Every structure is written in structure tokens, then in C-alpha cells.
A and B are shown apart, each in its own frame.
Chain A
């Protein structure tokens, strides 16, 4: 029996090795056509003739398993909803739109493998994501060679810029740069809130939080403010009381914490309030972690916290989307978050570019994206790309958290 099972196991392994590429191909096609099939069922009646044989394929690099799986799973659901809508309205150029997503969370090299797979095997017309900078930085040359536009929703400068300062031709960022977010926060804190002493807290090996803190410190000190303490924590940390005690001794008014995930901020805020510092020290945050779920977890511990975000979750455009999403995707146990909205905006850029260019040709889409002077986003505002392929149009909203609710204090931009 044992031998038999091991023989079967070995055979299955061997077969899947031999048929590695072909099975994958079939499986994916099957999967994609399933998704598409559903969508076209809905759309078939409305639009009449939707070209389902020759679909427009959009790839998405998702962070869909592991500790922060909600990042990708929510974005996938949001993108699929949007694509369903597009197909119900007759698709793009009369063709059906399909989303093909791959998980990239198991290892660093996965973003390269998944991109190669999307380009080579699925022959996608454009790729959205990934939402993490270390996974996006390396993709510039791959998509350039294949002439497939990539629209990552992450914030590091190097995602769109090469070391020599040139712009990566096929990469278009759809989220604000870390530096811009930090600078805006520094200016708002110094000029509008009158804050003079700030401590910083970053995740020691996380590229995004380290960059964000560096930029904040530079800008805030240039403005004349004082950074009284710089503390950090490790990946997967939940215990912050040692840092809090040190920070409290330095007596800052605020702590700038651009965390990559909201659980760290929740734990930090809860411990801050437990130790009795919640009245004297508050958090300055970024959209890197701002998520409606954070407020639910931390409760009133986050009160008084000020967050800078490129999208206003309370706006008349977005608030209904969040509610609708919560109703439709209750099984995900996670709210619609900013990074999913950035991905949806990327999809809108692609809709615009494909319709304008009249083709799904990589260079044509790229040209349309470069030449656009503004695409109306369902999240509000009109966005376009500057010469470095960074988005222009996202307006930083300042949110203040009061009584467990985020209240918008209005739009703020740094005067140049």
C-alpha cells in the first residue's frame, strides 16, 4: 500500500513536471474563461454582441496569501467587480475584458516569475500591481522588453526611476510617492498644526517605511521642527512598550508612523493608550496603513491621530463604494482599502488608454497613458502622469480620527 501511494505520488509529480507548462496553461485558460464566462453571462443581454473569443487580458500581481493576504484579495474582488461592470456595458473596443491574477507572496522571485508568466503564457495586454515596492522595482526592464505597460500601486521612487535618473518607459505608478506623502505630512504638521517636536517609528528593514521616515525627517528639520527620537520595530512585532517608554521620555507632540500594515499601528496605539500617554502623544499616519478595519480594531485608541491620504475615504465618491463592497464581499472579512482603490484607478487608466488608442498594443497604450491630460476617476478628481510617470491629480486629504471615526479636514497641498 505504502509503495503504491508513493508510486502514485511520484507519478503525479513526474506528470506535472512534464506537463508543467501545458497544464498551467490549460488551468489558467480554464480559470480565466470561467471568470469571463460569468461576466459575459451578465453582460450578454445588455450589450448584445461582446467579443468573448478575443478578450482583452489584464494581469494583476496580487499579494493574495500569507500574513497580509487581505491586501491582494480585496483588490482582486474590487477589480473583478469593475471588470464585470465594464463587460456589462459592452466591454472595451467591443471585446470582453478578463482579469488574470497571480499570487506573488511566497518568495521575492515570484513577482518576476508571475510577470513572465503573464506576459509569455497568458499574453496579457497590461499588468496592474504589485502593491509592494521591492516587488515592483525589478520589473521595469522585463515589461520594457515585452512592451507591456505595468501600473504598480506602490510608493518608492525607484519603482519608476532607474538609478541613472531615467524613467522606466513602461512603468506608470498609480499611487502617490512615499516622499510626497511624507513631505505633505511634514508641512501640514509644521505649518497647519503647529507641531514642533516629532518622534518617528519605522519598521527597521521595510524599504517603504524607512524611505518615508527619511524623507519626513529631512523635510521636517528643514522646516525648523525637531525630531526628538527615532525608534524602530521589527517585522511581526506586536510589543511596543519599550519603544513607547523611550519615546515618552523625549516628550514629542506626535509620532510619525508610516507603517506598512495596520496591525502594528493598532498595537502601538492600544499600548500607547494603555500606558496612559494617549493624551500627550498622538500618531501621524500615512495611507500605507490607513484602513477602515484599523479603526474597528483600535477603537478610540487612535483618537486624535492625523492621517494623510491621497484618497478621501469619506468622500461622496468613495464612501458608497466602501459600503457596497462590504455588502457584496462580506466573506472576505476585510474592508475596501486604499490600495485596492489605487488598483481600480489603474484599471480606469487602462480603460481610457485602450479606448483612446483604439488598440491593445503595448506602445499604443503607453503613448495614450503618457499623453493623457486627465482621466476622470470614480474615486474623484482627474489624474494624469508627469514625465517621471508619477501620478498628478491625487490630492492629499487630511483625516483626523475622532471617536473611532475618520473625519476629513479637507484637501492640503504643499505650496511649492
Chain B
């Protein structure tokens, strides 16, 4: 009745002020009393009317109102006000200047927070209809950040005017969460199919959120049950009883600490309830003492095992959806299952990419060995240190040449030259004398390896040196929210392919390759044919070492360059060659793929623990060698030698 009267009064009072012009002004004038003493319960229709008035200034007026920038002049006009030196600077409701006024002349409207919330919701509609796409997407983003049921209506209004895909998606996301109609929500959930967007999963997950309850008797009525739990099966007896305790349905169990504290409190003349303290050094005696105290009423009763069982039997335990509508939760569960399946497939794809890139790193590290060990059968434990030398060469070049791209391009051939020279020197000075004693080659090259490692430590220090990749290798190629691969890994993959090509070309298509193969197969026959085995051995060893140097530059780009860089890869490299099959480059490739894939696979099974992955992989390799002692691709016939 008061409401009706006040509206009547407002209409009556508004009559003299009809001549104010714009529709917005008209609406405000018509509802002057409501606006002046606005409250959340009554102001709704006015804001609604303003928002749908079609007045171009309506958005500005609403915004000003919410910001306390709307004033009521003593003569009954509504004005936009802002602070000025001597009172208020005035503009009329269409935005035109309207002079100044003293503070006393104009009454500032101060809407409370409830009203401001209503205004903000109404304003969303204007922002969504903004002609500027940037403002529009900003409004969408702000809704997406903090969605609320109030946003649904303005969003739909805005969509009716002008729709874009982002807006439509947001509308569906809001619908599935907030629409009052269950069928509409289910339809919205199903419209997404197996969409991979994180926003969809963020919207669906709260729908299937559950809480665990304990109730006396059977299943509760009126709750959207997710699952019923049997103590001892889906839920442990301890957890179930804890639920009862937290819900005040059962007394707490006696913890050992409580028991001890109670017993200590009740020590009386060196004994507790007649049992001497010295005898309380085991559980049975302590229980007996506590029970005696209970009987005397000096300790709180604690639940015994029988009572616990009885309490568990008298209650039932359930997971309950926070969302009351079963149709919606069912649809959401189904949608999440669909998405989970697709995400799983995508993760598998991502994992294969990771495995491929790890495999190409192993391949790069091992390809030099495939030459020195695989073709020449020289075991070079200093191979890892050649990799390290390559990486440090890259680092030194970057100190001299500032341009990243140029320095990498320079570093690759330089690293090859440095390690080629080192390899040739080592072959001439040491390995040449030990061709008939492979075990001693291993030891001698190991001596060189520790000397080189220490030398690098002396020169470059123990801290890691940076080898920075050029800017165009930063970032990652992103396929979707799940699958992505960094450009640097693609580059390493490409480099590995190039090396494979180079190796095949040298071995199969050049004179050097022919002579290398001849010397490996039968040195004396090759020597009879006029090939100098010494020279060939030297060049082959140099080639293998040089490739290790280039691999070092590539590995240095993503790993830290330290003196231990090489030794981190040496065992894996030998494994790659041995598993793949000695003397065959395709075997090395297969070995790298297998080891890389295995390692990633094990890491996926046990993601927290990369150390365990390496352990299990090595064990697997040891077992694998049982079944294929000559590797995946074994040489057959006389070429296998022995």
C-alpha cells in the first residue's frame, strides 16, 4: 500500500517536470521518489526501464548513478554531477554542459550496494552491445572470470541483438550452470560434445562436486546421491567413523596421545588405578589401566571397537552432489567422461611428441658413437666429453659473437672442427696402439675423459654456463590446450634427421664411406686393395667425434652447460647403440626411439619420479639384452664378426 502510494505521489510530483526532454530524463522524473530513496526491492523496474529506453545516454547515466555521479537539483531536474572547486560541475542528462551549482543546491544520490549491483548488471548489457569489439570481449572476459546467474539475462539480450561465437559460448557456459530450467542446462551441456576448453571443464567440475555425509538409517531423501559407501570397502572404517565424529553422531575414539595424557594425569603414588607405572610399558597394560579409570569415572568414556562397529552399522555413508538436479549431474558426468577420453588421447599424442623429441636427443648423442663404436668397434668413454667440448665451443662463440642466430650458425662448424681435431689427436696418440685390446681402450679413453672433465672445470668453473638459443626458437608450437611442442625440440628433431641423412650419405655414397666399410670388414683385404687403414681409421674416428661436437651445441641449447654434461649422456648413448644393434644406423635410430619412448612412458605411469623412470628403463634394457643380445637390428653373417 505504501509502495502504491509512493508511486502515486511520485507520478503526481513528476507532473510539473515533464518538460525535461530525453526519454531517460523522463523515466527518472517519473520515478523521482523511487530514485531518490532507492532500495534493492523497489528500484528494479526503474533500472529496467532506463536500460530498455533506447536512450543513447542511458549507459552513461546508469554508470554515473552507480558512481554517485547523479544529482537531484532543487528544481527537480536530474543532473550528471562531478566535483568542482565551488560545488558541482553540472551536465544535463544528454551530456551537455549545464554550468555549476553550489553544494547545497544539488543533492548527490548515493545508491546502496544492492542497488549498485543491479545497476552493474544492467550495465553489462550495454557493454556487451558496445560497437567496439575490444570493449565487448573485455566485458565477456570479466563475466567469464566471475560468472553469476545475474549475467545470464543481459547476455541473452545482447545475443539477441548481435551475437558472436565467444558470446554464444559464454552464454551456453552460463546456461549450463545457472539456468533454472533443467532441460535447458542438459541441452547446453550436450551441445559442447567433447570440447577440450579449460573453461568448459571449469564450469562442469563444480556441478559434479560431491561432499561426504553420514546419516542415521538408510539413504537420505531429497538429496542427489552420487554414491553410497560401505565402510571397509569404498571408505575405510576409520574414515567413516571420523565422519560420524565430525557430525557429532558418535563419541571420539581414544587416541594413544589422549590415553597417555589421561594416564599421566591420574598417576597416584607411583601407580595408575592400582597398576604400577613401571608396568605400563605395553599397550595391553595401558588399556587395562584406562578401562579401570573409566570404571571409576575418572576418565571420559571412549568408544571401544564394539561401539564403533555398532555405530557404523547404524549409519549409512553417502557421497552427495552439491548440485540438486540429477539430470544435470548425470549429463555433466557423461560430458566429463567424454572430455576425459579425448584429453587422454590428446595426452597420448603429446606424450608421443615428447618421446620423439627425447629420442632425437638420444639419437644425436649416440650418432657419433654409432660411428666410433658401431662401425670401428672402438669404445670411447670420452665421447661424452666431446659432447661437452662442443657445448663449450658454442658458449665461447656466443661470448665473441653477440648475434644469437649468427653465433649458433658459427658454432656448429666450429664445434665440429674442434672435436674433429681432438678426436684425430686422440686416435693417433692413444687408440691406434690399442686396437687389439678393446678393454684397455675403454680404460685409456676413460682416463682421457676424467682429465678432460677436470680441465673443463678448471677453465670454465663449476657453475653452469648459458648457451642461449636464438629468439626465433623461443616459444612453442601449440596445437590445443593439451598438445604442444617447443620449437627448440622441433629444431633438434630436424637436426637429428639431417644427421641421419648425412651419415647415410657418407657411408653409402662416398668414397670415404666405402673405404670405411671395407676396413671394418676386413682390414688386410682392404689394405691389399690400396686403402690405407690407418688414414681411414683416423678420419672415421675424427668424423664420429666431430658429430659429437655438433650434438653438444644442440644439447647445450636446452641443457645446462657444465663439465658433467657429457657424463650425463654417456651411459644412455651406449645403451642406445647397444640396444639398437651395433654397426647399423637404423638400429641406433630404433634404439633411440625405444629408449626415449620407454622413458617417457614410464614417467607417465609414475609422473612424480623421473629417477625411478631411469632406473626401471635400465633394468628393462638389461633384460631386453637377454632376448636380443645383438640389439634390435642385428648384423647377420660374416659382417657380424665377433
- B and A form one assembly: no
